Structure 1
């Protein structure tokens, strides 16, 4: 199958497919920070995110010959990191609650965030205080850019449950930071 996506680091990817260690290290250096941050947003623990990211890279290098170029390499690798992170949460027995299929009028989705005063540390702390299920959906939707259908497929929940989890996560996040009036989520 011919590649649909031309990667700017295709030469490094090809060398990784040839199992060149220096190319693997080069690819790792190119992607480790963003993949670590992706995992951290999902699992909420720095040491666990580091371990997950390392395992994801090892897995990616073992399976790199299956990378066909249908999506960017970064998107392919991110999917591995997201899946590893979610598997880790499942091991911690995180239960994503399946919610009523009905979406009430008050649950109209508006993902826009109006930022009044940015204190990144307070926002990060508030996100990490969210229950795992809420944090995962919020991270996948707002930070990783997945839509509700993709989230429902990844987490094996309904699309409406994904929407409900996001709404509840936004409300809980707003409650955590409301006293400081850092920002409001509509």
Structure 2
């Protein structure tokens, strides 16, 4: 931008700062298209560029009275457009990343559910390989949630025998599962 253009900007900014609201209309006429083009260049979306430019004009109107160097209006305004455009891209990327993370978490949860179901089925298959007395103790203790004393009463065996069967059932399960994994 040449010095003549900067002088025009300086004059319009000073007029607006002095209270002449029409000066802003001329600034908008001079810069709006360039601001839109800059926003579009960054965003690659015409509608988003127009929205960003409109937001930038609101910022410019709020802060123009604080502009210390009126002839730098063009570069100052362009900087606002540039910054707002980048902020828009960052916000879109953040939202996209959040959605992708949510989708990833959902997929992980589904896989974990599938894994749990497969593990549960494998464990039930393995329990069926145990002797009947051990199967019953495992099912009563872990599935039905009975205490050792209650299991002893149900099976008419001592608590010590219940503990022993439960221990041997767990050990046998461990060895069978280890063999299956190797």
- Give the TM bin, normalised by the shorter chain: 0.3 to 0.5
Higher fraction of helix: 2
Instruction: Point out which structure has higher relative CO (alpha carbons under 8 A, 6+ apart).
Output: 1
- TM-score after normalising by structure 1: 0.44
The structure with the larger Rg is: 2
